[in-house]
């Protein structure tokens, strides 16, 4: 772990990276650099970006203060598309695989081990399954309205991306969007649906997005401000 002006960061070399970039997340600050970039160039790069890093970290702290993190324990709670679900956790040491079922406003969770790690893994699996249904339903409706069909759908857990649309119509969405209000998920879906016909972020793209989501700018600001708090 390194530090510039009291901002700690880690360095990860990547064969795919073409240039240095900085990722700020709940896990901390990570600098991703090309394999052959001299380490002597990393610290000046981070120092140059320090004001941005500090602003991003400050916004994350403010967002977390406004949106308390989920409480992963029995009688704790987790967000789900604008709702708050109460956890009813039961530990069964002989259980071979976790089980999660929703009944009304309660998530009943059975796990083999105590502690947040096992509970977090079980919940993530459940969220991924729910995301498959929730996203597919909304995406089908959005593409039907637009008249632009998609090729395939994947639910993923990217650290830095909420969604993507390939040139062949393959769609990918982050399951953590289910931790946000429903209008945020709908906005991200509409954003990607526009990409089925407009593959860049040109003026035409934003014009079409505004036609489909008149208040898209407010939703985008919400996501930028609160995105890092959308985690278990």
Q: What is the DSSP string of 43-72?
A: HHHHHHTHHHHHHHHHHHHHHHHHSPPP--
Q: Within this chain, do residues 24 and 106 fall inside the same structural domain, yes or no? A: no
Which of 17-31, 46-60, 98-112: highest mean pLDDT?
A: 98-112
pLDDT for the residue 64: 73
pLDDT for the residue 155: 97
**Region 65-91 average pLDDT:** 92
User: Does position 88 have pLDDT exceeding 90, yes or no?
Assistant: yes
Q: What are the CA-CA distances from residue 113 to residues 73, 76, 121, 211, 223 (Å)?
A: 12, 17, 11, 49, 34
* Domains: count for the chain: 2
Residue 46 sits in which domain range? 2-66
Q: Within this chain, do residues 96 and 55 fall inside the same structural domain, yes or no? A: no
Least confident of 60-64, 78-82, 100-104, 211-215: 60-64
User: Does position 154 have pLDDT exceeding 90, yes or no?
Assistant: yes
pLDDT for the residue 1: 67
Q: Within this chain, do residues 103 and 196 fall inside the same structural domain, yes or no? A: yes
**Each residue's pLDDT tens digit, 163-215:** 999 999 999 999 999 999 999 999 999 999 999 999 999 999 999 999 999 99
Q: Is residue 72 a part of any domain in this protein? A: no
Q: Is residue 27 a part of any domain in this protein? A: yes
pLDDT for the residue 67: 75
Q: Is residue 219 a part of any domain in this protein? A: yes
pLDDT for the residue 3: 61
Q: Within this chain, do residues 62 and 145 fall inside the same structural domain, yes or no? A: no
Q: Over pLDDT 90: what percentage of the chain?
A: 72
User: Does position 130 have pLDDT exceeding 70, yes or no?
Assistant: yes
**Burial of 178 from C-beta contacts in 10 A (0-12 / 13-18 / 19+):** buried
Domain boundary residue among 27, 44, 66? Answer: 66
pLDDT for the residue 17: 87
pLDDT for the residue 159: 74
Q: Within this chain, do residues 15 and 111 fall inside the same structural domain, yes or no? A: no
């Amino acid at each position: 772990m390194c530090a510039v002006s009291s901002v700690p960061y880690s360095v990860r070399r990547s064969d795919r990276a073409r240039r240095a970039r900085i990722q700020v997340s709940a896990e901390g600050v990570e600098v991703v650099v090309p394999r052959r970039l001299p380490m002597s160039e990393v610290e000046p790069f981070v120092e140059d970006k320090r004001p941005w890093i500090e602003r991003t970290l400050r916004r994350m702290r403010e967002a977390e203060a406004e949106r308390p993190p989920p409480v992963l324990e029995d009688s704790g709670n987790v967000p789900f598309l604008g709702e708050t679900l109460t956890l009813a956790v039961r530990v069964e040491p002989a259980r071979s695989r976790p089980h999660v079922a929703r009944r009304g406003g309660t998530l009943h969770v059975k796990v083999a081990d105590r502690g947040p790690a096992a509970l977090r893994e079980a919940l993530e699996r459940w969220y991924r399954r729910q995301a498959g249904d929730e996203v597919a339903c909304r995406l089908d409706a959005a593409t039907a309205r637009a008249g632009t069909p998609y090729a395939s759908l994947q639910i993923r857990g990217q650290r830095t991306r909420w969604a993507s649309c390939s040139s062949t119509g393959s769609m990918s969405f982050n399951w953590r969007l289910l931790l946000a209000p429903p209008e945020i998920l709908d906005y991200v879906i509409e954003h990607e649906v526009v990409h089925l016909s407009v593959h860049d972020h040109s003026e035409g793209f934003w014009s079409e997005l505004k036609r489909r989501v008149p208040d898209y700018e407010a939703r985008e600001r919400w996501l930028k401000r609160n995105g890092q708090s959308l985690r278990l």
